[in-house]
Each structure stands twice: as C-alpha cells, then as structure tokens.
Amino acid sequence: MTENSKKVVLVIGAGVATGGSVAKRFAREGYIACMARRQGEKLAPLIEEIENAGGKAFGYSCDATQENELVALVERIENEVGPIEVACYNAAVGATHSITEFPADTYERVWRINTFGAFLMGREVSKRMVERGRGTILFTGATSALRGKAGLAAFAGSKHALRALSESMARELFPKNIHVAHIIIDGPIDTPLIRRMMPRVFEERPADGVLSPDDIAETYWTVHCQPRSAWLHETQLRPWLEPW
C-alpha cells in the first residue's frame, strides 16, 4: 500500500467483541485499523493479533464523550496515519433502574457514551469525508433503539437518539457520497462478559444460536462495500432462533 493509497478504519469502542472484530475485518482488506477506547493500553492484544495476521493497527486512549479528546484523536489520525475512510462508533453502556429511582448522573452518563460520543465522532469524520467526497460511517445500534423497556429508560432513550442521529446524518450525507448506516444488534453476543452474565444461553443454544462478533463484522464490511445505487441505511442482525 503506497503512501497515497493508505486507508484508515477508525473504531471507537474497540475490544474483545464487535468493535475488535470490525477492526480485524477491515484490516484483512488492507485498511489501517485505528482503534480507540478510554484505556488504550488494553488494545495491545488486539493490535498484536492484527499485526500477526499481516495487518497494521494503532491504539489510542480517548474518552469519546470529551469533545477536545475526540477532536484531537481524529486530527491526529488524519495527520499521522491517513484519511479516515470508514468510521465505526461501537461504544456503549447500559444501566438498569426504576424510573422513580434513576440517578440523574447515571442517566446522563449513558446518554453521553451511547449518543453524544457518536455525535462527536460523526461530526468530526464527516468534515473530512465531505471534503474528500467519500466515506462510510457505521453506528452500532440495539433493540432498544426500536422500543423502550421497563428499567431501561436511559439505554433505550440513548439508543433511540443514536438512531435519529444516524438517520439525520444519512439524509444529509448520502447525496454527498457518504454512506451512513445504523446496524441494530438484537440478541446476546458471544463475549466473555455475556458468557458470565448469561451462562444458560450458551448451555442451551447451539454455537450459532448466539451472535458471533466476527459474523457481525462481516455485515459491517458488506455494508461498506455496497454500490451506491442500492445503499442500505438500517438493518437488524439476530441469531436464527432469537425470538422477536
């Protein structure tokens, strides 16, 4: 890959699940994987895995809810690594409380991570993409983007807002040759955390009855590769036996 042909995929919220798999999938296609999370040092194993497979990767510490950090991150990558061709926002957090007892600071924290950080990333990368006349922006959604649920006022509210952000961006940016997509993940994902939280699911279901991060990432890659005569804006992914 020549200096002028370098392409970067930026993944905010990379780790052992969807974000990490998205970074690995694009790295396999020659993209330089730039990954960010609040504790960037935790990205070392993922960087090593990508580079051992022949790819190139960089890790960064960034709190995506802090405007100055997110702006600086995008600026640094654009100046030091290459043009961000694809940006994926995968950071998310949840909290469960009765609405009568929901702490205000917790509600705001969920919104800042799930929605505000996505807005900041979308704003900053779209500036560069508009100038270049191309790009793809991918947002990881959830079932809560479609319906609320008791105890999940903050998560559902923030995911509804993320969906609205994505649609608004798509309506503005599609005509500028920038593909914006919102990908709703419906069901348990095969991660160490979910295995600890929901052991019975993994005991009772076959291996492909739980969402595979690598299979999710395959959809992200496919969406990015779509011809613009038939761009997808939103899709839903769930295991074949997931009730819905």
pLDDT tens across 72-90, in order? Answer: 999 999 999 999 999 999 9
26: domain CATH number is: 3.40.50.720
Q: Is the pLDDT of residue 1 over 70?
A: no
Provide the residue range defining the domain that includes 14: 3-236
Q: Are 110 and 91 in contact (CB under 8 A)?
A: no
- The answer to whether residue 244 is domain-embedded is no
% of the chain beyond a pLDDT of 90? 89
Q: Is the pLDDT of residue 2 over 70?
A: no
pLDDT for the residue 38: 93
Q: Is the pLDDT of residue 53 over 90?
A: yes
Alpha-helical (H) ranges within 57-97 are: 67-80
Is 45 exposed, middle or buried, given 0-12, 13-18 or 19+ CB atoms closer than 10 A?
Answer: exposed
pLDDT for the residue 70: 98
Q: Is the pLDDT of residue 3 over 50?
A: no
Domains of the chain: total: 1
Segment (H or E) for 33: strand 32-37
- The answer to whether residue 108 is domain-embedded is yes
In angstroms, the CA 89 to CA 164 distance is 15
Closest CA to 36 of 1, 82, 88, 79: 88
**What mean pLDDT do residues 213-240 have?**
97
In angstroms, the CA 115 to CA 157 distance is 9
Q: Are 23 and 9 in contact (CB under 8 A)?
A: yes
- The answer to whether residue 67 is domain-embedded is yes
In angstroms, the CA 190 to CA 239 distance is 11
Residues 6 or more apart whose Cβ sits within 8 Å of residue 88? 9, 10, 11, 12, 19, 22, 137, 138, 139, 140, 220
Q: Which residue has the higher pLDDT, 50 or 195?
A: 50
Residues 6 or more apart whose Cβ sits within 8 Å of residue 213? 16, 17, 18, 20, 21, 189, 190, 191
- The answer to whether residue 94 is domain-embedded is yes
**What mean pLDDT do residues 173-197 have?**
94
- The answer to whether residue 243 is domain-embedded is no
**What mean pLDDT do residues 134-156 have?**
96
**What mean pLDDT do residues 212-231 have?**
98
**What mean pLDDT do residues 186-208 have?**
89
- The answer to whether residue 241 is domain-embedded is no
pLDDT for the residue 92: 93
- The answer to whether residue 107 is domain-embedded is yes
pLDDT confidence tier of residue 193, bands split at 50, 70 and 90: confident
pLDDT confidence tier of residue 5, bands split at 50, 70 and 90: low
In angstroms, the CA 72 to CA 201 distance is 41
Is 242 exposed, middle or buried, given 0-12, 13-18 or 19+ CB atoms closer than 10 A?
Answer: middle
Closest CA to 48 of 26, 20, 74: 20
**What mean pLDDT do residues 158-165 have?**
98
- The answer to whether residue 151 is domain-embedded is yes
Q: Which residue has the higher pLDDT, 62 or 197?
A: 62
**What mean pLDDT do residues 124-141 have?**
98
Q: Is the pLDDT of residue 23 over 70?
A: yes
pLDDT for the residue 37: 96
